[in-house]
Amino acid sequence: MKIDQIYTGCLAQGAYYIESEGEVAIIDPLREVQPYIDTAEKNGAKIKYILETHFHADFVSGHVTLAEKTGATIVYGPNANPKFEAHVAKDEEVLTLGKVKIKVLHTPGHTMESTTYLLQDENGKDTAIFSGDTLFLGDVGRPDLAQKAATMTQEELAEILFDSLRTKIMPLANDVIVYPGHGAGSACGKNMMKETVDTLGNQKKMNYALRADMTKAEFVKEVTDGLLPPPAYFPLNVQMNKEGYASIDDVLAQGTKALSPAEFVTVAEATGAVVLDVRHEHKFAEAHIPSSIFIGLDGQFAPWVGAVIADVKQPLLLVCEEGREEESVTRLARVGFDNVLGFLKGGIAAWKQDGQEVDHLKSLSAAEFKASLDKGHQPVVDVRKFSEYQAEHVVDALNIPLDDINSSMSEFPADKDFYVHCAGGYRSVIASSILKARGYHNLINVAGGMSEIRKTGMELTDYVCPSTLK
pLDDT at 227: 86
Mean pLDDT on 307-329:
95
pLDDT at 309: 93
Mean pLDDT on 252-262:
98
pLDDT at 98: 98
Are 65 and 42 a contacting pair, CB within 8 Å? no
Percentage of the chain with pLDDT > 90? Answer: 88
Q: CA 91, CA 413: separation in Å to the nearest integer?
A: 56
What is the residue type of 269?
E
275 φ/ψ angles, rounded to the nearest 5 degrees: -85, 115
Residue 470 has pLDDT above 60, yes or no: no
What is the Cβ-side half-sphere exposure of residue 430, based on CA atoms within 13 angstroms? Answer: 32
pLDDT at 71: 98
Stretch(es) of the chain classified as CATH 3.40.250.10? 246-353, 363-468
* CA distances from residue 258 to 255, 269, 324, 330 in whole angstroms, order as listed: 9, 17, 12, 16
Tens of pLDDT, residues 336-370:
999 999 999 999 999 999 999 999 999 999 999 99
Tens of pLDDT, residues 134-160:
999 999 999 998 877 768 999 999 999
HEC letters along the chain? CEEEEEEECCCCEEEEEEEECCEEEEECCCCCCHHHHHHHHHCCCEEEEEECCCCCCCCCCCHHHHHHHHCCEEEECCCCCCCCCCEECCCCCEEEECCEEEEEEECCCCCCCCEEEEEECCCCCEEEEEEECCECCCCECCCCCCHHHHCCCHHHHHHHHHHHHHHHHCCCCCCCEEEECECCCCCCCCCCCCCCCEEHHHHHHHCHHHCCCCCHHHHHHHHHCCCCCCCCCHHHHHHHHHHCCCCHHHHHHHHCCEECHHHHHHHHHHHCCEEEECCCHHHHHHCECCCCEECCCCCCHHHHHHHHCCCCCCCEEEECCCCCHHHHHHHHHHCCCCCEEEEECCHHHHHHHCCCCCECCCEECHHHHHHHHHHCCCCEEECCCHHHHHHCCECCCEECCHHHHHHCHHHCCCCCCEEEECCCCHHHHHHHHHHHHCCCCCEEEECCHHHHHHHHCCCECCCCCHHHCC
Q: CA 166, CA 140: separation in Å to the nearest integer?
A: 12
pLDDT at 310: 87
One of 3.40.250.10, 3.20.20.70, 1.10.10.10, 3.40.50.1820 is the CATH number of 363-468, namely 3.40.250.10
pLDDT at 236: 92
Residue 420 has pLDDT above 90, yes or no: yes
Q: What is the CATH number of domain 246-353?
A: 3.40.250.10
Q: What is the CATH number of domain 2-235?
A: 3.60.15.10
Q: CA 323, CA 155: separation in Å to the nearest integer?
A: 47
**Biggest distance spanned by C-alpha atoms of the chain:** 74
* CA distances from residue 299 to 21, 52, 295 in whole angstroms, order as listed: 40, 27, 8
Tens of pLDDT, residues 355-410:
999 999 999 999 999 999 988 878 999 999 999 999 999 999 999 999 999 999 99
Give me the chain's average pLDDT, please.
95
Tens of pLDDT, residues 82-92:
999 999 999 99
pLDDT at 232: 85
Tens of pLDDT, residues 213-228:
999 999 999 999 988 8
Tens of pLDDT, residues 94-123:
999 999 999 999 999 999 999 999 999 999
pLDDT at 468: 55
Tens of pLDDT, residues 156-208:
999 999 999 999 999 999 999 999 999 988 888 777 888 999 999 999 999 99
Residue 469 has pLDDT above 90, yes or no: no
Q: CA 121, CA 96: separation in Å to the nearest integer?
A: 11
